[in-house]
């Protein structure tokens, strides 16, 4: 037996994009159903880093999300670019009068679910989307199954794919026309360790031995990364070897070491879907695009998509005005490609490319000096890192 559910908007994916969209629609009085293959506990406990632009925090608060970013997150008003063994601070507050918040993604998800679920919003966990039917019709349908194989059909006026980089919704929209992408010839080896912070702000380090990022998680837990081969085995290194590698990547800074309790390898890929909207089906977040983490744009870009699409759906479903929905793709792509460029620029400026020559290395150092020696260069980095103004329809 197939259970049929009817709603105005079907949202596939209970990540930050899908849940915030549900909250925006709920406050506008628009019914929606959110489905996700994971349990609520899995969603809330999957630890991922998070750097939130001020505009993202403001968007969450304006949407009525009970976020604790200001209480639990750490505000940073700058970052350090380190090269030639010397640190160069990019002062966000002084340059653009903005900052960012270190607030892990799983806490954002906890905030969103703690807002939606007590309000009685229809969020269905353990329900895996299999396909989308009638993509070009006026009632597109999401076909999903639970762990026992029972099928649910969700018939909606709008279907939104917020289901990540392997999106079922995108596949239904575009088929083999997936999108434009760039593969990078390196990855990040990430660790979580028990230690106090090694620096008051994040350090992005370009060294002769390769890139490293010294980040933070709390007063007692720190997150650090170093450039590595994409195929490296996370268990190949001892803790002593990991600390030696990290220390050589940040010359001039003595890292505070501690027990390493988590390690993983983060692959690098840039991607933009060829189609962000087809008829009454649209994409947001990682279903629409992915960026390297160097520019801290991933979750912020997803929130920017949602603000645009949320306003477009309000106009379409409440006022029968299709113009914002028709303009969604173009408006979203304007920011997406700016973010892709910034993420690529930060990545290429800070990482060592395979087979790079001595000329390439010296040119890269010249580029870093061009940024740090110039107020205009520092301002561009600060403006892009802290985020361009968020836009919405209506």
Active site residues per annotation: 76, 204, 293, 297, 385
Q: 58: how many CB neighbours lie within 10 A of its CB? A: 13
- Note whether 222 and 74 are within 8 A (CB): no
Give alpha helix (H) positions in the chain: 16-27, 40-45, 54-62, 69-72, 92-96, 105-116, 168-174, 239-249, 298-319, 323-350, 358-372, 375-386
Q: Are strands 32-36 and 51-53 parallel, antiparallel or unpaired?
A: unpaired
> Order of strands across the sheet with 179-194?
86-91, 78-83, 203-207, 210-214, 221-228, 179-194, 260-273, 289-290
Cα separation of the two ends of the chain: 42
Closest CA to 186 of 44, 23, 356: 356
> Order of strands across the sheet with 74-76?
51-53, 100-102, 74-76
Would you call 145 exposed, middle or buried from its count of C-beta atoms within 10 A (0-12, 13-18, 19+)? middle
Q: What are 264's strand-pairing partners? A: 190
Category of 131 on φ-ψ map: left (φ > 0), alpha (ψ -120 to 50) or beta: beta
Return the sign of the alpha-carbon dihedral for residues 294, 300, 302, 304: negative
């Amino acid at each position: 037996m197939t259970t049929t559910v009817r709603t105005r908007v079907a949202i596939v994916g209970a990540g930050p994009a899908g849940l915030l969209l549900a909250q925006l629609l709920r406050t506008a009085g628009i019914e929606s159903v959110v489905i996700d293959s994971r349990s609520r506990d899995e969603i809330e406990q999957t630890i991922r880093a998070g750097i939130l632009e001020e505009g993202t925090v403001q968007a969450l608060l304006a949407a009525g999300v009970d976020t604790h970013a200001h209480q639990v997150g750490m505000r940073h008003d700058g970052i350090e670019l380190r090269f030639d063994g010397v640190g160069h601070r990019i002062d966000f507050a002084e340059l653009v009068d903005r900052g960012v918040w270190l607030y892990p993604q799983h806490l954002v998800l906890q905030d969103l679910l703690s807002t939606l679920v007590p309000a009685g919003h229809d969020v269905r966990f353990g329900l895996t989307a299999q396909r989308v039917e009638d993509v070009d019709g006026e009632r597109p349908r999401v076909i999903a199954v639970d762990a026992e194989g029972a099928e649910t059909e969700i018939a909606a006026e709008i279907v939104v794919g917020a289901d990540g980089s392997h999106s079922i919704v995108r596949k239904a929209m575009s088929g083999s026309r997936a999108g434009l992408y760039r593969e990078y010839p390196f990855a990040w080896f990430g660790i979580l360790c028990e230690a106090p912070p090694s620096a008051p702000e994040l350090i992005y380090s370009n060294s002769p031995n390769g890139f490293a990022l010294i980040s933070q998680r709390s007063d007692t837990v720190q997150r650090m990364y170093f450039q590595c081969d994409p195929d490296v085995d996370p268990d190949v290194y001892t803790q002593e070897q990991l600390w030696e590698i990290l220390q050589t990547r940040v010359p001039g800074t003595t890292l505070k070491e501690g027990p390493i309790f988590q390690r993983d390898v983060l692959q690098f890929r840039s991607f933009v879907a060829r189609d962000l909207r087809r008829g009454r089906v649209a994409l947001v977040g990682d279903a629409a695009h992915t960026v390297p983490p160097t520019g801290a744009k991933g979750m912020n870009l997803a929130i920017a998509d949602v603000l645009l699409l949320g306003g477009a759906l309000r106009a379409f479903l409440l006022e029968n005005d299709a113009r914002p929905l028709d303009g969604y793709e173009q408006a979203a792509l304007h920011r997406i490609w700016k973010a892709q460029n910034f993420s690529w620029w930060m990545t290429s400026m800070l990482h060592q490319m395979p087979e790079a020559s001595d000329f390439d290395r010296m040119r890269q150092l010249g580029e870093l000096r061009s940024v740090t020696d110039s107020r205009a260069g520092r301002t561009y980095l600060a403006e892009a890192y802290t985020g361009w103004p968020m836009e919405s329809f209506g």
